[in-house]
Amino acid sequence: MSSIDFTQALASGARSYDRHVGRWWVQRTSSAAHAEAYVNIARYVARHARKRSGLLVDYACGAGLLTRQLVAALPRWRFLGIDGSRAMLRFAEAWARRREPGSPAALEFRLAKLPDFALPMHKADLVVFAFPNIITGAGERRHFEKIYGKDSVLARLLAAKREQAGAHVLYDQLFMNRMIARNLRWLLRKGGLCVRVDYSQGSRHELERCDRVATVFEEGSLSAGQGGRKPEKFFDLLYARYYPSDVIRDVYEQTGDEDFLEGGYSVSLLRAI
Angle at 203 between CA 200 and CA 206, to 5 degrees: 110
Q: 264 forms bridges with which residues in the sheet?
A: 200, 244
For residue 63, what pLDDT is reported?
A: 93
User: What pLDDT digit, counting tens, does each position of 145-169 carry?
Assistant: 999 999 999 999 999 887 665 678 8
Q: Using 70 as the pLDDT threshold, list the residues of the chain that sit under it.
A: 1-3, 6-14, 102-104, 163-166
Q: What is the CA radius of gyration of the chain?
A: 18
Burial (CB count within 10 angstroms: exposed 0-12, middle 13-18, buried 19+), residue 218: buried
Domain spans of the chain?
6-135+181-228+235-272
**Among the listed residues 212, 213, 233, 229, the one whose alpha carbon sits nearest the alpha carbon of residue 221:** 233
Per-residue model confidence (pLDDT) at position 142: 95
pLDDT of residue 45: 98
* Predicted TM-score (pTM) of this structure: 0.93
In CATH terms, 6-135+181-228+235-272 corresponds, of 3.40.630.30, 3.30.1540.20, 3.40.50.720, 3.40.50.150, to 3.40.50.150
Query: Where are any strands of DSSP class E within the chain?
Result: 55-59, 78-83, 106-111, 124-130, 188-200, 235-244, 264-272
pLDDT digits (tens, 9 = 90+) for 105-135: 799 999 999 999 999 999 999 999 999 877 7
Distance of CA 87 to the CA centre of its chain: 19
